[in-house]
Structure 1
Amino acid sequence: MELFDSIVISSSLTQIGSDLTPLLESRQKFLCFALGSQERGLLPLEQIAEVLSVTLADILAVPEMPNCVMGIYNWRGKMLWLVDLNYLLDYPPLSPPEQESEALMAMVIQINGRSMGLVVQYVLDIELYDPIQIQPASADLFPPRLLPFLLGYLPSANSLVFDSEAIARCPLWQVHQN
C-alpha cells in the first residue's frame, strides 16, 4: 500500500512541476539596484555585461562633460565611461563615499559594440519577474525627464524598469561623441 501511495504522490509532484514549467520559463531575470534614497530600479539582466565595484580613486574625471558623467575607468584595458545614473535620471546625485576606498557599483552595459558603466550606490539582487506584468510608463505617473529611459514599472515589486538601450541612446552622449 505504501508503494502505491508514493507512486501517486511522485506522479502528482511531477505533474505539478511540469505545470509550473511554462510559468518559470516566461519569467525574466532583472538586476535590482538602489535608485535615489528609497526607490528601486530594475534592468533586464541580458542587457548587463558585468557589475563592477569602483572607488572614486579609480575614476579619472574628464573636464567639460555633462554633470552626470563621473569620468572614465580602466575596464579590461579599455576606457569605460561611468555615468551617475541617479543624476542622469534627475534624482539627487550619488553622495561621494565617506572614504576614497569605499566602493560604488557600476553596471556595465554594452550596446552596439560600445560600453558604458551605470553607477549606483549599490546593487540589491537578481530577481525574476514575468515581463507581462510590466506596466507602461505614462506622463501622468512619471516626470518627462524619466520617461524616455523607462520600459515601464512593476507595481508588485514597487520598481521602475529601465531600458539600457534608451540610456545608451541619450542625446547627451551624441553631442560628446566627437
Structure 2
Amino acid sequence: MNNCQNFLTPQQTQNNLGDGYLKFQVNKHISAVLSIKNAQEVIFLPVESVTSMPNMPACILGLINWQNSLIWVIDLAIMLNVKVDNKITWQYNIIIIRTDLGLLGLVVFEIKGTTRFISDRIDSPELEVQSKLLPYLSGYVRQDKEIIYVLDAIAIVQSSVLHTNS
C-alpha cells in the first residue's frame, strides 16, 4: 500500500495552480477571462430587468438594482467593438465586476466557469491581438489551440467609451 502524503500546505498548492479567473465568451468566437479578484458575481437576469436610459453610448444597456445598489450594465461585445451575435435572448448573462472605482455589469454571450493560469503563461498582447482590444487587455493565454484574452477590469471601467455620449 502506498502512503503518499502531500507535504504542501493548501496555500502552497493553490499558488502552484496559478491565479483564479472567470472564463466566458464575449461572443461566439472570442473567449476571455477576468481575474476572480474583480469578478464579484455572475447573475442571469431577464432582459426587461435592465432599465434603459436615453442618450447613452450604444454599449450601455441601462441600469439594474443589484443588492440595493444601482449598477450600470454594458454589452461587452459592443464596447470592445467586436462582432455582436444577434441572437434573440430572454435573459442576460451578467458578470458584476468590482474595482476601486466601483461596480459595473458586463453582459457576455456565455459564462464558461472558472479556470487558473500561472502568470508566466500570460503573454503580452502586442503582436497577436486585434488593435481595438489592446486598451482592455492584460494579455492572452493559449490553451488547447484556443486563444483566451485576459481582460483588465480597471481598463474596462475607465474606458472613454463609457464616459462619452453617443
Residue 56 of structure 2 corresponds to: 65
Q: Which residue of 2 aligns with 1:77?
A: 68
- Give 3-state SS (helix, strand or coil) of 1:66's partner: coil
Output one character per residue of 1:22-54: Cα deviation in whole Å (capped at 9) or x when no partner: 464141111010122222111111111111112
Alpha-carbon contact 2:101-2:157 (below 8 Å) kept: no
Match of 1:105 among 81, 86, 93: 93
Percent of residue pairs bearing the same amino acid type:
20
Once residues 20 and 114 of structure 1 are traced to their aligned partners in structure 2, the CA distance between those partners, rounded to angstroms, is: 34
What's the offset of the Cα at 1:20?
A: 9.5
**What is the count of residue pairs matched by the alignment?**
161
TM-score (normalised: structure 2)? 0.87
CA contact (8 A) 2:28 2:85 kept: no
In 2, Cα distance between the equivalents of 1:87 and 1:28?
A: 28
For residues 45-99 of structure 1, the C-alpha deviation after alignment (integer angstroms, 9 at most, x for no partner) is: 111111111221101111111111111111112211001011111122353534x
State the partner residue of 2:102: 114
- The question of 1:151 aligning with 2:138 is answered yes
* CA spacing shift, 1:59–1:53, aligned 2, 3 Å: same
Shift in Å, 1:119: 0.6
Structure number with bigger Rg: 1
Which whole-Å deviations, capped at 9, do the CAs of 1:114-140 have from their partners, x for residues lacking one? 1110111220111121121000101x3
User: Relative to total residues, which structure has the larger helix share, 1 or 2?
Assistant: 1
**Deviation >4 Å, runs of 4+:** 19-23
- What letter matches 1:166 in structure 2? A
Segments of structure 2 that go 5 or more residues without pairing to the other structure are none
Q: Is the 8 A contact 2:57 2:162 kept in 1?
A: no
Q: Structure 1: state its 5+ residue gaps.
A: 1-5
SS in structure 2 of the partner of residue 166 of structure 1? helix
Higher mean C-alpha displacement, 167-176 vs 74-83: 167-176
What residue identity is the alignment partner of 1:66? P
Aligned residue in 1 for 2:29:
38
Distance 1:114 1:68 in 2: 18
* Closer, same or farther: CA 94–119 of 1 in aligned 2, 3 Å: farther
Report the CA distance between 1:112 and its aligned residue: 2.0
Find 2:151's aligned residue among 162, 165, 170.
162
Which has the bigger relative contact order, CA under 8 A and spacing at least 6? 2
Calculate the TM-score normalised by the size of structure 1.
0.81
